[in-house]
Amino acid sequence: MFRRRRAKHRLFSRILILLIILLAIFSTIAILYPLNYTEYINKYSMEYDVDPLLVASIINVESKYNKDAISPKDARGLMQIGPTTGEWAADDLNIENYNPNMLFIPEINIRIGIWYLSMLRNEFGDNLDLILAAYNAGSGNVQSWIKNALYSIDGINLDNIPFKETADYILKVKSNLKIYNLFYDNKISNSEDFGQKYLQLMNGIRKYLLNISDSYSKEDIV
């Protein structure tokens, strides 16, 4: 009887450890790849027909979801919109009384960022590498690269990118996009921060499992 009970507890302990490890992994992913401001991402992605998880990936790479982020080149907010792009977008979108500090407002920043992605898609088609390269380095640079045999063999795709920062940027965004597609399974909530809800659920399960483990430990003592 005692041996059977001990074997049962050893099996439970192993299962518990495995579950805790899995929960830790998923919780870490949710921290490293959050999905916040989903209401705005979903709203404007639908308006401009842009992949919302691509937007989420760009925000994560650009600012780690810090709405107050500002770069040495004065790019601002979640999607790191530069002053020139901000003014261009504000004029096209009829944003009244626009000033650069409005780029720190999440909805405005995301709206402009997605609008800009749609403009780049109009320019470069569905070539994601070109779109991301232009988002990082500017469309003028990308246009000159694809016209240069040193960087583009066919004049359509980029075979070499002269800016290491831009080459790294493309890899980071595409890597993030793979994780977002795998982890979030193309599910974006309109009203809640999905990543935060997931973290709360994971923490709740973790506490529940720890409570069960504690109760079994007390049984062993008895």
Burial of 167 (0-12, 13-18, 19+ CB in 10 A): middle
Q: From the candidates 39, 47, 62, 96, give the one annotated as an active-site residue.
A: 62
- Cβ atoms of 117 and 55 within 8 Å: the answer is yes
The secondary structure of 109-153 as a DSSP string is HHHHHHHHHHHHHHHHTT-HHHHHHHHHH-HHHHHHHHTSTTT-S
Distance from C-alpha of 47 to C-alpha of 167, rounded to nearest angstrom: 29
Judge whether 165 counts as a catalytic residue: no
Which of the 8 DSSP states describes residue 81? B
Please state the separation of Cα 131 from the chain's center in Å. 17
The residues annotated with a catalytic role in the active site are: 62
